[in-house]
Structure 1
Amino acid sequence: MIEQDLIGWTIGFDLDGTLVETHEDLIGTLNRMLATKGLPACPVEGARDLIGGGARALLVHGFERAGAPVEDAQDPALFDAFIADYIEHIADHSRPFDGVVETLERLAARGATLVVVTNKRSDLSELLLGKIDLTRHFAAIVGPDRVSARKPSRAHFNEAVTSVGGDPARAIMVGDAAPDVGTARDAGVPVIGVTFGYTPVPMEELEPDVIVDAFDDVEEAVDMLVVDHYVQKAMAG
């Protein structure tokens, strides 16, 4: 029998670049938008650093890389076209990173409450996670439209945690980029940084509490942080 030693703990996960490898579908949509303007495509494998700031930022970066005026990327009609195209292709190639499903199952079996804390729109996040059969692992999927302020504000993390009945004093963030580390620091919670995601700044430079190179290592990192929480609590009396 698995010991439910994580009851009372909530773990928040970023989505793109942490749970799911999404860059091929996002860059595919970007390239179709660039093509409508007669602009060259971004090589898929060379554009991972463009992911993470949302669709509007992705369009701006894509147009900048193509040498086109940024103002053209900010056309509301182009944004609407981007979203419509992405919805059609949201899970053509996107898949969970290796070890995600197994790790989420183990953490849940031990009693942890799992929640997605993402700057991706909630409806898009739900659509993606539903198509790749990850929704069932989470108590909630909390995008920026469901909180008072988006990452890196502590409001995003705290409101996501409390929305599933969790206590921010016993919570951990897992993410791949500066907004994830930033929201954890702002909330005063520990953060696990993964190195395989989408960040223009190396994870080592962002200085999370624990760095992992594979999702399979997230559970061990959670255990380290939980033990440290109780040690610190005992030392404080």
Structure 2
Amino acid sequence: MNTNDTKKIDSILFDLDGTLINTIDLIVASFLHTMDAYYPGKYQREDVISFIGPPLSETFTNLDASRVEEMTHTYRTFNLENHDDLVSEYQGVAETLEVLSQQGYKLAIVTTKRRDTALKGLKLMGLEKYFNVVVSIDEVSNYKPDPEPLNLALQQLDSTAEKAIMVGDSEHDILGGQNTGTKTAGVAWSVKGRAHLASFHPDVMLEEMTDLLDYLGLPK
């Protein structure tokens, strides 16, 4: 429920993949397709789950620094070709964003995706109207958990960390919020599991997105 602490929140920063839109099947399939091309038979679904969160450049550098561009091209080609078929919505997201928008909250996306792909997902799910501010990997030198992308979003929203909460499905989101000085909310539908996300001590754990309205003291 609303407390003195949450009354001052006027800005909400959202991760995109696995938080607002269900891209998990798409991401996993894209990684498995890529891994099968370069490391046949070596990787299964449970193996590539750990790849979710950081930018592709970091994941592929850790695998083979000499083939980052090649693997990234393979991944993105498959990802774009299958995007609309494998992306779906999470229950309660659209309703929550509608209430937040009507109540005058400042909303932003902070993602490690490329901007064009992020906008594609938002448009597919009909959520683009809620976000005038989208900070992608294209606009920053450092990515979550570094505070740079969150601070850029706050700057564009004309807000401050003390008035904001970061909502996300990975440790990069929670640590990013903590490093920036915002409140943090984890989502229990994280592909890495509720317990994993809870171990990073978000201020609140959302069992479904409408719980964010309860946390802020707003009517559903």
Which TM bucket (shorter chain)?
A: 0.7 to 0.9
Residues 190, 197 of structure 2: 8 Å contact kept: no
- RMSD of aligned C-alpha atoms? 2.7
| 1:160-203 C-alpha deviation (Å, 9 max, x unpaired) | 12113333331111111111111111111111111111337612
Q: TM-score, normalised by structure 2?
A: 0.83
What secondary structure sits across from 2:85 in the alignment?
coil
| 1:15-56 C-alpha deviation (Å, 9 max, x unpaired) | 111111111111222232234347138555785443222334
Q: Computing the radius of gyration over CA atoms, which structure comes out larger, 1 or 2? A: 1
Q: TM-score, normalised by structure 1?
A: 0.78
Match of 1:77 in 2: 70
Correspondent of 1:104 among 56, 74, 97 = 97
Match of 2:20 in 1: 19
Residues 173, 180 of structure 1: 8 Å contact kept: yes
Determine the C-alpha separation between the residues in 2 that align with 1:133 and 1:19: 11
Determine the C-alpha separation between the residues in 1 that align with 2:15 and 2:145: 12
Letter in 1 for 2:35: L
Residues 25, 86 of structure 1: 8 Å contact kept: yes
Match of 1:214 in 2: 208
Residues 150, 177 of structure 2: 8 Å contact kept: yes
More moved, 35-44 vs 90-99: 35-44
Identity of aligned residues (%): 25
Correspondent of 1:205 among 177, 180, 199 = 199
Letter in 2 for 1:209: D
| Structure 2 spans left out of the alignment, 5+ residues | 1-6
Residues 147, 176 of structure 2: 8 Å contact kept: yes
Letter in 2 for 1:176: D
Residues 36, 43 of structure 2: 8 Å contact kept: no
| Cα distance change on mapping 1:118 and 1:102 into 2, 3 Å | same
**Aligned: 1:89 with 2:82:** yes
| Cα distance change on mapping 1:140 and 1:217 into 2, 3 Å | same
Match of 1:230 in 2: none
- Specify which structure has the bigger relative contact order, considering alpha-carbon pairs within 8 angstroms and separated by 6 or more residues: 2
